[in-house]
């Protein structure tokens, strides 16, 4: 049951094969037994059960609010949730309870979804491993899968214990939560790849919609001009369902587009011969593992063999994306973080010598090194003497990067196919050898340009690596052409038949009604 | 005081006797926009509300909140820009200006640093030469730009307890920053320019512009230099909270700089505060050191796009767009136009038109009286300016608070005009009316028996009695000293307790004396 798709579980709820409360309780139990993953920062058991109860009432009256009614979901802990702590995995906001819901959270609740809790992340979403938050690193559920264990050489217990791999990030908690079946869908955020990267490492679908399609109101910003709420689900169809409930103009976010958004169902493509798939050669990046390169070509062949046009394209400015992102990101971070001064909310230092010394101590105690480092560089780039040299130049490069995409799509390409990550997930012990800045620069390299250009992009889990870990590929679509993007992704998802994670904990908890009827997409 | 040459000339040299000094004054004026809600949030705008009672999540900069631009504020800025002959930018941008301060919760102010909403305007203002109302000159100051920006909150320092209390009611209220080029040369000019701007804002309704309530805040940039030399180092004078103090502060600062330079000192590029009690400017301590505001585009607000009738997209929702032409067509008459109309329509003196507009509601009061009376406007203006205005000033009342309405004053003037009472009697009625006891002028006239003597015979007898009793004066008049006649008229007035018509009395006396 816990492994079902949204439509399947919704049907089960409607038919009364399971009640929202039962579903919620099972998820809560699974969260408890997978606590070692550290996917959740806060589990809102009480409110979740209450929401489930309310949902149950609606089902009893025969008036559910839609597909999402009674569906347990999780939300990254950088979205404001009224009455439930919102920490950004930072000392600065530990214990902070927001008085309002982010628009996306409100929309999910309005659709009847049950909010299980808040998921772990890198502090203020700055990172690519979900290892740099104040609540500790998130462990990739695949570390404990039968598939991974089988491939690894038998080791001593202590070695095995240190063998776990990272989830990627910064929305690693959300990816792990969906991947370990503790919720049916989760919200992440995506500024440079923070939804797609952990999705790839955790073997789930991760959608970064077009900038301006989904409201950012209530999302604690990293880079306002690139942040997008991200969607993490089991399958592409589920992502479309969530998108349908989240997208659209929000008067509280002036950067959302005014046009009406019509929710859509994805067709089952049978003919891809009219499709043109672009393979950007620049994504053949240094450090790309041979395994992923092979998988990427195989995927391109898959399209070619099915009759699609597959063309090599060039996005010449993509290689400047990371350095350009570094300037723009840190500048906005420096600005956005200025509000955390300990006066209105959040951590306040005991230092009372002067207002200035209180600010300094508050910020030193409240932020980790990564955040402070970015604030420092950002302020440097914004200095009067540096502004033209760095910020303005980076903005110009950003425009060039975006124009590259425009040109490619204008040439007739429908969707771009690229790898999502350079390799499969690294073991934690290996990952922390490098500093956050180096890792982020490496890990965002394939996902970042889509944020620069504001384009929709999706990670589709594709296969398991030699080590038994998930590997995903990324599709990048035209602005606001989510339907086309997801349709292609869905076709691809069907072809690759990505295996289901085999977790002991899930087996124990999910012996429910669906035991005898395996779902097609997960067989 | 600084001797300011009204024709824009230089101040004579000081004791050193070297080249004269040219003072240069530019102004930065923050006008609080009169709107129901704040610039980027829905919280109410209200003066003197309980502390922190008008604070939205955005105003307190709660994480995740975003700015949403208030249409009314944009319209107010466009109106003001048009009224100040600016070109309105069809596309303007918002920027963040960073600094840490307790009453700036976000750590930055959203302003328009790169491309403001209006640029390149001008403001004409008049001032009188040598304090003579009859000698007015018109001057023009260029307006560099008008930018939209957020107001900050207020910090209250409790020095004894070493605490700072923060009130965020004002945080996020919409401001228009009007930047005036350094085209002025003395305090009086600066004061006159600001007064005219204030009248314009109040006429437009774009700001209430009450300086005492902080709705209009003026910073003055002051420098002095010798003719033919580049501008001197300037100082910025803040904390000026009335127009009178503006003139004082600017003149003080000019004099201070001249004295400093003539004594071999230098002027620092610094911020100074005007101390109204001491009447001088002093360096501001907490503004020391150069700030780098680290400006950055505000990423949460798309460019502000305005349209005119030509560029207006056909199928655009009218609630979503602002049409500059539409606003232009609906601009009210500006003070300068109103003054011209008053002069033209009522034949009053130009300086009187200034006085009429300087008091809120006075022009309307005047026009209302004129409408309701047969008295000529030229005569009405005297009653308005000499009697009404001086009474109000004396009692610190606004026109709206006047105990005598325009109807009552018109009634009174009608009695005078119909020669039912003398002007002396009219003044007495007016004095009675100020008491505000609800009596009509006619009632007062009846009560106090102030009606003019209509009985010609009785008046003739009184005149005769006066002539008979003043032989010396009569002789003098007959000898050609006509001025003495006024004394006789006065005596008749006294005898009739002001109830005689002086014109008639004069005629009667002349007739009798020539007999």
Alpha-carbon span A82 to A98, nearest angstrom: 5
Contact between A135 and A38 under an 8 Å Cβ cutoff? The reply is yes
Span of A43-47, A472-476, B284-288 with lowest mean pLDDT: B284-288
Share of chain A above pLDDT 90, in %: 87
Quick one: which of B89, B188, B200 has its CA closest to B139?
B188
Mutation for testing the B interface, residue in A85, A336, A394, A395 having most B CBs under 10 Å: A336
Q: Which pLDDT belongs to residue B289? A: 60
The model's pLDDT over B76-104, given as tens digits with 9 standing for 90+, comes to 999 999 999 999 999 999 999 999 999 99
DSSP states of A47-107 as a string? Answer: HHHHHHHHHHHHHHTT---STTTT-EEEEETTB-BTTBB--TTSGGGTT-B-SS--HHHHH
Beta strands of B33-173 (E only): which ranges? Answer: 87-88, 91-92, 95-98, 108-111, 118-128, 136-150, 154-158, 163-167
Query: Does residue A170 have a cis bond before it (omega within 30 degrees)?
Result: yes
Contact between B125 and B193 under an 8 Å Cβ cutoff? The reply is yes
Angle between helices A321-336 and A393-410 (to 10 degrees): 130
Q: Which pLDDT belongs to residue B288? A: 52
Q: What are phi and psi of B123, to 5 degrees?
A: -135, 125
Q: B1 Cβ partners below 8 Å, 6+ apart?
A: B251, B255
pLDDT higher at B466 or A520: B466
- Predicted confidence band of residue B14 (pLDDT cuts 50, 70, 90): low
Q: Record the tokens describing residue B511, joined without a space.
A: 């007739």
Contact between B208 and B34 under an 8 Å Cβ cutoff? The reply is yes
Asked if A255's CB is within 8 angstroms of B64's CB, the reply is: no
Q: B174 Cβ partners below 8 Å, 6+ apart?
A: B32, B33, B35, B38, B39, B45, B70, B73, B76, B148, B149, B150, B151
Report chain A's terminal Cα–Cα distance, integer Å.
Answer: 13
Which residue of chain B comes nearest to A99, CA vs CA? Answer: B57
What pTM, to 2 d.p., does this model score?
Answer: 0.90
Alpha-carbon span A371 to B167, nearest angstrom: 29
Asked if B107's CB is within 8 angstroms of A391's CB, the reply is: no
Asked if B63's CB is within 8 angstroms of A93's CB, the reply is: yes
Angle between helices B187-204 and B243-262 (to 10 degrees): 150
Candidates A130, A194, A321, A423; catalytic one: A194
Alpha-carbon span B420 to B414, nearest angstrom: 9
Q: Which pLDDT belongs to residue B132? A: 67
CB-CB neighbors (< 8 A) of B286 in chain A: none
Q: What are phi and psi of A497, to 5 degrees?
A: 45, 60
Mean pLDDT of A184-211: 98
Quick one: which of B119, B111, B177, B175 has its CA closest to B144?
B119
Apex CA B194: angle with CA B192 and CA B199, to 5°? 95
Mutation for testing the A interface, residue in B56, B63, B157, B316 having most A CBs under 10 Å: B63
- How far is the alpha carbon of A421 from chain B, nearest alpha carbon, in Å? 28
- Predicted confidence band of residue A154 (pLDDT cuts 50, 70, 90): low
pLDDT higher at B458 or B333: B333
Checking if the pLDDT of B284 tops 50, the result is yes
3-state class (DSSP) for residue B387 = helix
Alpha-carbon span B375 to A459, nearest angstrom: 87
Q: Record the tokens describing residue B197, joined without a space.
A: 């701007």
Q: Record the tokens describing residue B374, joined without a space.
A: 């047969």
- Predicted confidence band of residue A434 (pLDDT cuts 50, 70, 90): confident
Checking if the pLDDT of A518 tops 70, the result is no
- How far is the alpha carbon of B238 from chain A, nearest alpha carbon, in Å? 23
CB-CB neighbors (< 8 A) of B57 in chain A: 99-100
Asked if A383's CB is within 8 angstroms of B292's CB, the reply is: yes
Q: What is the DSSP letter of B52?
A: T
Share of chain A above pLDDT 70, in %: 96
The model's pLDDT over A26-81, given as tens digits with 9 standing for 90+, comes to 999 999 999 999 999 999 999 999 999 999 999 999 999 999 999 999 999 999 99
In sequence order, the β-bridge partners of residue B220 are B27, B237
- How far is the alpha carbon of A93 from chain B, nearest alpha carbon, in Å? 10
The model's pLDDT over A384-424, given as tens digits with 9 standing for 90+, comes to 999 999 999 999 999 999 999 999 999 999 999 999 999 99
Checking if the pLDDT of A495 tops 60, the result is yes
Q: Which pLDDT belongs to residue A68? A: 98
Q: Number of CB pairs < 8 Å for A and B?
A: 100
Rg (CA), chain B: 30
Q: Which pLDDT belongs to residue A158? A: 67
Residues of A contacting chain B (CB within 8 angstroms): 79-80, 86, 88, 93, 98-100, 102, 216-221, 223-225, 251-255, 258, 331-332, 334-335, 337-341, 343-345, 355-356, 359, 379, 382-384, 387, 391
Mean pLDDT of A298-321: 96
Mutation for testing the A interface, residue in B107, B164, B294 having most A CBs under 10 Å: B294
Alpha-carbon span B438 to B429, nearest angstrom: 13
Share of chain B above pLDDT 90, in %: 66
Q: Record the tokens describing residue A94, joined without a space.
A: 């530990």
Q: What is the DSSP letter of B145?
A: E
CB-CB neighbors (< 8 A) of B61 in chain A: 339, 344
Alpha-carbon span B196 to B194, nearest angstrom: 5
Asked if A258's CB is within 8 angstroms of B300's CB, the reply is: no
Span of A174-178, A342-346, B289-293, B395-399 with lowest mean pLDDT: B289-293
ipTM of the assembly?
A: 0.94
Checking if the pLDDT of B488 tops 60, the result is yes
- How far is the alpha carbon of B105 from chain A, nearest alpha carbon, in Å? 6
Which residue of chain B comes nearest to A357, CA vs CA? Answer: B100
Span of B73-82, B157-166, B287-296, B424-433 with lowest mean pLDDT: B287-296
DSSP states of A319-384 as a string? Answer: GGHHHHHHHHHHHHHHHHGGG-SSSSSS---S--S-HHHHHHHHHHHHS-HHHHHHHHHHHHHHSH
- Predicted confidence band of residue B13 (pLDDT cuts 50, 70, 90): low
Q: A120 Cβ partners below 8 Å, 6+ apart?
A: A38, A39, A40, A41, A77, A89, A130, A133, A135, A136, A138, A172, A173, A176
Residues of B contacting chain A (CB within 8 angstroms): 57, 60-69, 96, 98, 100, 102, 105-108, 164, 166, 292, 294-296, 299-302, 320
Residue with tokens 């009522």: B346
Checking if the pLDDT of A123 tops 90, the result is yes
Quick one: which of B309, B339, B342, B315 has its CA closest to B327?
B309
- Predicted confidence band of residue B448 (pLDDT cuts 50, 70, 90): confident
Candidates A143, A170, A215, A245; catalytic one: A170
Phi-psi region at A349: left, alpha or beta (left = phi > 0; alpha = psi -120 to 50): beta
Checking if the pLDDT of B300 tops 80, the result is yes
Q: Which pLDDT belongs to residue A515? A: 42
Span of B87-91, B421-425, B439-443 with lowest mean pLDDT: B421-425
The model's pLDDT over A257-300, given as tens digits with 9 standing for 90+, comes to 998 899 999 999 989 999 999 999 999 998 999 999 999 999 99
DSSP states of B228-265 as a string? Answer: TSPPPP-EEEEEE-SHHHHHHHHHHHHHHHHHHHHTT-
Quick one: which of B339, B359, B29, B340 has its CA closest to B184?
B29
Asked if A345's CB is within 8 angstroms of B60's CB, the reply is: yes
Pairing state between β A114-119 and B91-92: unpaired
In sequence order, the β-bridge partners of residue A464 are A470
Alpha-carbon span B505 to A485, nearest angstrom: 103
Alpha-carbon span B378 to A67, nearest angstrom: 80
Checking if the pLDDT of B6 tops 50, the result is no
Per the annotation, the verdict on A281 as an active-site residue is: no
**In this structure, is the dihedral angle defined by the CA atoms of residues B239, B241, B246 and B249, taken in order, positive or negative?**
negative
Asked if B69's CB is within 8 angstroms of A221's CB, the reply is: no
Alpha-carbon span A368 to A361, nearest angstrom: 13
Beta strands of A413-456 (E only): which ranges? Answer: 415-419
Q: What are phi and psi of B273, to 5 degrees?
A: -110, 145
Which residue of chain A comes nearest to B166, CA vs CA? Answer: A343
The model's pLDDT over A317-366, given as tens digits with 9 standing for 90+, comes to 998 999 999 999 999 999 999 999 999 999 999 998 888 999 999 999 99
Q: Which pLDDT belongs to residue B509? A: 84
- How far is the alpha carbon of B162 from chain A, nearest alpha carbon, in Å? 9
Q: B454 Cβ partners below 8 Å, 6+ apart?
A: none
- How far is the alpha carbon of A266 from chain B, nearest alpha carbon, in Å? 31
Residue with tokens 């604690």: A220
- How far is the alpha carbon of A128 from chain B, nearest alpha carbon, in Å? 21
Candidates A76, A107, A208, A483; catalytic one: A76
Checking if the pLDDT of A99 tops 60, the result is yes
Alpha helices in B359-481 (DSSP H): 362-371, 377-382, 389-394, 406-417, 423-433, 441-447, 456-469, 471-478
């Amino acid at each position: 049951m816990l492994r079902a798709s949204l439509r399947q579980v919704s049907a089960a709820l409607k038919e009364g094969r399971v009640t929202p409360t039962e579903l919620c309780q099972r998820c809560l139990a699974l969260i408890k037994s997978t606590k070692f993953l550290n996917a959740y920062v806060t589990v809102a058991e009480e409110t979740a059960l209450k929401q489930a109860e309310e949902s149950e009432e609606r089902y009893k009256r025969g008036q559910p609010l839609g597909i999402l009614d009674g569906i347990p979901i999780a939300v990254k802990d950088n979205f404001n949730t009224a009455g439930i702590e919102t920490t950004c995995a930072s000392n600065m906001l530990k214990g902070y309870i927001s008085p309002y819901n982010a628009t996306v959270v409100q929309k999910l609740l309005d659709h009847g979804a049950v909010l299980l809790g808040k998921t772990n992340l890198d502090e203020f979403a700055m990172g690519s491993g979900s290892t740099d938050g104040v609540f500790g690193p998130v462990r990739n559920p695949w570390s404990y899968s039968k598939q991974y264990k089988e491939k690894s050489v038998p080791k001593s217990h202590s070695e095995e214990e240190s063998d776990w791999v990272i989830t990627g990030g910064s929305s690693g908690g959300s990816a792990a939560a969906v991947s370990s079946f503790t919720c049916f869908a989760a919200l992440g955020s995506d500024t440079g790849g923070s939804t797609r990267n952990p999705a790839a490492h955790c073997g789930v679908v991760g959608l970064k919609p077009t900038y301006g399609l989904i409201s950012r109101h209530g999302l604690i910003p990293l880079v306002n001009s690139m942040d997008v709420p991200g969607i993490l689900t089991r399958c592409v169809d589920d992502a479309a369902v969530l998108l349908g409930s989240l997208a659209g103009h929000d008067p509280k976010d002036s950067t959302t587009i005014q046009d009406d958004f019509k929710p859509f169902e994805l067709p089952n493509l049978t003919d891809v011969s009219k499709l043109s798939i672009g393979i950007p050669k620049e994504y053949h990046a240094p450090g790309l593992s041979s395994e992923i390169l092979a998988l990427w070509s195989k995927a391109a062949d898959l399209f070619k063999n099915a009759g699609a046009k597959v063309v090599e394209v060039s996005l010449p400015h993509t290689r400047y994306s990371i350095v350009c992102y570094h300037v723009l990101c840190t500048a906005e971070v420096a600005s956005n973080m200025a509000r955390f001064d300990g006066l209105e909310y959040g951590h306040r230092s005991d230092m009372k010598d002067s207002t200035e010394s209180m600010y300094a101590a508050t910020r030193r105690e409240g932020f980790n090194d990564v955040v402070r480092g970015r604030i420092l560089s950002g302020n440097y780039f914004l200095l009067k003497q540096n502004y033209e040299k760095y910020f303005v130049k980076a903005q110009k490069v950003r425009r060039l990067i975006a124009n590259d995409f425009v040109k490619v799509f204008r040439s007739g390409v429908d969707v771009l196919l690229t790898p999502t990550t350079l390799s499969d997930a690294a073991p934690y012990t290996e990952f922390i050898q490098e500093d956050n800045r180096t890792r982020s620069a490496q890990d965002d390299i394939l996902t970042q340009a889509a944020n620069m250009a504001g384009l929709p992009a999706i990670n589709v889990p594709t296969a398991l690596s030699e080590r038994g870990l998930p590997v995903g590929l990324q599709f990048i679509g035209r602005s606001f052409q989510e339907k086309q993007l997801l349709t292609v992704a869905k076709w691809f998802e069907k072809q690759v038949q990505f295996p289901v994670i085999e977790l002991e904990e899930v087996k124990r908890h999910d012996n429910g009604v669906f035991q005898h009827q395996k779902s097609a997409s997960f067989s | 005081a600084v001797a300011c040459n009204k024709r824009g000339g230089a101040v004579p040299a000081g004791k050193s006797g070297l080249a004269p000094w040219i003072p240069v004054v530019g102004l930065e004026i923050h006008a609080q926009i009169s709107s129901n809600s704040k610039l980027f949030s829905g919280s109410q705008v209200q003066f003197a509300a309980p502390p922190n009672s008008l604070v939205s999540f955005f105003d307190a900069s709660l994480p995740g909140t975003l700015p949403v631009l208030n249409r009314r504020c944009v319209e107010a800025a466009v109106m003001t820009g048009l009224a100040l002959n600016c070109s309105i930018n069809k596309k303007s941008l918002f920027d963040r200006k960073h600094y840490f301060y307790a009453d700036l919760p976000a750590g930055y102010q959203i302003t328009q640093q790169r491309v403001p909403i209006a640029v390149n305007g001008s403001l004409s203002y008049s001032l009188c030469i040598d304090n003579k109302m009859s000698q007015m000159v018109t001057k023009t100051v260029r307006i560099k730009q008008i930018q939209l920006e957020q107001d900050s909150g207020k910090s209250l320092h409790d020095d004894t307890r070493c605490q700072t209390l923060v009130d965020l009611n004002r945080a996020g209220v919409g401001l228009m920053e009007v930047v005036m080029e350094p085209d002025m040369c003395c305090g009086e000019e600066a004061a006159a320019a600001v007064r005219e701007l204030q009248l314009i804002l109040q006429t437009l309704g774009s700001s209430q512009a009450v300086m005492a309530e902080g709705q209009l805040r003026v910073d003055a940039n002051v420098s002095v230099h010798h003719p033919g030399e580049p501008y001197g180092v300037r100082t910025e004078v803040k904390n000026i909270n009335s127009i009178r103090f503006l003139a004082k502060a600017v003149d003080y600062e000019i004099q201070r700089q001249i004295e400093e330079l003539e004594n071999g000192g230098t002027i620092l590029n610094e911020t100074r505060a005007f101390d109204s009690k001491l009447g001088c400017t002093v360096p501001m301590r907490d503004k020391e050191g150069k700030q780098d505001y680290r400006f950055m585009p505000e990423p949460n607000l798309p460019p502000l796009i305005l349209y005119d009738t030509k560029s207006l997209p056909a199928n655009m929702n009218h609630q979503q767009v602002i049409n500059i032409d539409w606003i232009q067509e609906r601009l009210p008459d500006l003070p300068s136009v109103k003054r011209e109309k008053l002069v033209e329509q009522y034949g009053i003196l130009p300086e009187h038109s200034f006085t009429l507009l300087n008091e809120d509601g006075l022009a309307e009061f005047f026009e209302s009286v004129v409408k309701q009376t047969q008295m000529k406007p030229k005569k009405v203006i005297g009653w308005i300016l000499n009697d009404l205005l001086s009474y109000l000033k004396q009692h610190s009342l606004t026109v709206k608070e006047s105990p005598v309405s325009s109807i009552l004053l018109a009634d009174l003037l009608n009695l005078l005009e119909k020669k039912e009472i003398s002007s002396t009697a009219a003044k007495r009625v007016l004095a009675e009316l100020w008491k505000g006891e609800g009596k009509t002028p006619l009632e007062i006239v009846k009560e106090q028996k102030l009606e003019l003597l209509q009985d010609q015979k009785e008046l003739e007898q009184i005149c005769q009695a006066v002539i008979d009793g003043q032989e010396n004066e009569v002789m003098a008049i007959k000898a050609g000293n006509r001025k003495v006649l006024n004394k006789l008229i006065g005596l008749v007035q006294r005898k009739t307790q002001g109830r005689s018509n002086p014109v008639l009395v004069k005629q009667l006396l002349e007739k009798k004396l020539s007999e």
